[in-house]
Amino acid sequence: MREIAVFSGSAHPDLAAEICRELGEPLLPARLRRFANDCLEVQLQSNCRERDVFLIQPLSPPVQEHLVELLLMLDAARGAAARVTAVIPYYAYARSDKKDMPRVSIGGRLVADLLITAGASRVLTMTLHSPQVHGFFSVPVDNLHALRELAGYFRGHDAPGSVVVSPDLGYAKPAAAFARRLGLPVAAGAKRRINDEQVTISSIIGDVDGREVIVLDDEIARGTTIVELLAHLREHGVPSVRIACTHGLFSDGALEKIAAEPEVTEIVCTNTVPVQGRLHHDKLTVLSVAPALAEAIRRIHEGESVSALFEPH
Catalytic residue set: 191
Rg (CA), the chain: 20
Cα–Cα distance, 230 to 261 (Å, whole number): 8
- Contact of 92 with 60, CB cutoff 8 Å: yes
Q: What is the 3-state secondary structure (H, E, C) of the chain?
A: CCCEEEEECCCCHHHHHHHHHHHCCCEECEEEEECCCCCEEEEECCCCCCCEEEEECCCCCCHHHHHHHHHHHHHHHHCCCCEEEEEECCCHHHHCCCCCCCCCCCHHHHHHHHHHHHCCCEEEEECCCCHHHHHHCCCCEEEECCHHHHHHHHHCCCCCCCEEEECCHHHHHHHHHHHHHHCCCEEEEEEEEEECCEEEEEEEECCCCCCCEEEEEEEECCCHHHHHHHHHHHHCCCCCEEEEEEEECCCCCHHHHHHCCCCEEEEEEEECCCCCCCCCCCCEEEECCHHHHHHHHHHHHHCCCCHHHHCCC
Cα–Cα distance, 301 to 142 (Å, whole number): 13
Cα–Cα distance, 224 to 220 (Å, whole number): 9
